[in-house]
Structure 1
Amino acid sequence: MYIVKGAMLASICAVTLAGCTQQAGEAMPQPIEVSDATGAISLPEGFDRWPTLGAWATASAGPDTPVNELHTVYVSPGGIESYRKDGVFADGTVLVKAVSDVKAAPLTTGNAHWAAKDKVWFVMVKDSKNSHKDNPLWREGWGWALFDAGDPSKQVATSFEETCQTCHEPAKDSDWIYSAAYPVLHDGEPKKASWDPN
């Protein structure tokens, strides 16, 4: 009788583990509370420990000038998996772009640049349901926010049109996100983006 019970227990464990494995493989975005009932967005705590979509090195004075900012883009847990499954970010997914100054030095690996002092953080919350239509920072399927490193508790963006639209306009056809620049979102090569001149 003990052997039969042991076999049954082993079978139950195997089924349970299989179920857990399947659920883990189908990760969905974990709910992150970053906005209140009016749509006011706050900077999420611990975002710098989230998965990273990718990073940008920018030279604001033109392509032949030195890099003067690094933009590191984080995504709430489960966001990458849901995008790879459906080709879009699921509602509730949060993106944070951390913009920092850079330090640079000629190292043995080449002329290196790395993140230094934080400057600002941009936050986007996916919302295809237009949950806060009276809030000027919830437009085009996203909630938008901007925080200055001088006071991370204060959201300083005024509206989507005034603060966010210009920079994201080239990526309008890909849900306002430069998704082709993030290999982690794609199996193989992403399709060529309209904003990419190469």
Structure 2
Amino acid sequence: MRHKIKLFSATLAVLALTSMAAQPADDGVRKPNGYRNWFHVNTMVVDKGSPLFDGLGGMHNVHVNPTGEAALKKGKPYPNKTMFVTDLHDFSVVDGSYVMGNLKGVAVMVKDAKKYASTGGWGFQFFAGGDPKKPVVTDAAKQCFACHEPKKSQDYVYSTYIP
């Protein structure tokens, strides 16, 4: 499980580290409304003990839309229009408890086997501060998919269903 978290976090770290670079390409991946009402897959915290903390420290909340929820639970390939959304927040530790803070950004993965064939059927984007007008990803193959390739057997998705 820690390996999965590290690799997923590495993907987001690449996004975060490249966020100050060139103008983002418009690849059609949009930040959806209402994703926090979707199925909550998991939450993880990247804290100071992680080598990824500088670029990606925070609380990560992963959600999947209704289109992908059944596939997640059955461990099957995801149908087109599946979306995973991860919101990344600052956090603090208060009396030994991790407390979610301000939103740092939102990562989106959307399945469209034809449109995103070169990246395993998935489109990727990261929105700085969660602002849909601040996309960060300029080269999904390098910034996102390179880290997802090892998960080909899971349709390139790190998140797994934990009943």
Q: Quick check: TM above 0.5?
A: yes
Paired letter, 1:57: V
Deviation at 1:85? 4.5
Where does residue 118 of structure 1 map in the other structure? 103
Cα-to-partner distance string for 1:91-137 (whole Å, 9 max, x where unaligned): 1111101111102112xxxx210211111111001122x2255xxxx
Stretches of structure 1 lacking an aligned partner (at least 5 in a row) = 1-37, 185-198
* Equivalent residue for 2:58, pick from 55, 66, 69: 69
Percent identity over the alignment? 29
Q: 2:73 aligns with which of 68, 84, 93?
A: 84
* Alpha-carbon distance between aligned partners in 2 of 1:74 and 1:125, rounded to the nearest angstrom: 12
Q: Supply the distance in 1 between the matched residues of 2:130 and 2:38 (Cα, whole angstroms).
A: 22
What is the CA distance between 1:177 and its match in structure 2? 1.1
After TM superposition, the score normalised by the length of structure 2 is: 0.69
Question: Which is bigger in relative contact order (C-alpha 8 A, separation at least 6)?
Answer: 2
Q: Distance in 2 between matches of 1:87 and 1:132?
A: 19
With normalisation by structure 1, the TM-score equals: 0.58
2:41 is aligned to 53
Structure 2 runs not aligned, ≥5 long: 1-25
CA distance in structure 1 between the partners assigned to 2:148 and 2:156 by the alignment: 6
Which of 86, 90, 103 is the matching residue for 2:92?
103
Aligned length: 135
Structure-2 separation of matches of 1:78 and 1:144: 17
1:169 to 1:114, Cα distance in 2 relative to 1, 3 A:
farther
Could you say if the C-alpha distance between residues 60 and 125 of structure 1 is closer, same or farther in structure 2, counting changes exceeding 3 Å?
A: farther
- For the pair shown, which has the larger CA radius of gyration, 1 or 2? 1
Return the letter of the residue paired with 1:114.
V
Contact 2:31 2:127 (8 Å CA) reproduced: yes
Q: Which runs of 4+ in 1 moved over 6 A?
A: none
Measure, in 2, the Cα distance between the counterparts of 1:100 and 1:79: 24
Cα 1:170–1:57, aligned 2, differ >3 Å: closer, same or farther?
farther
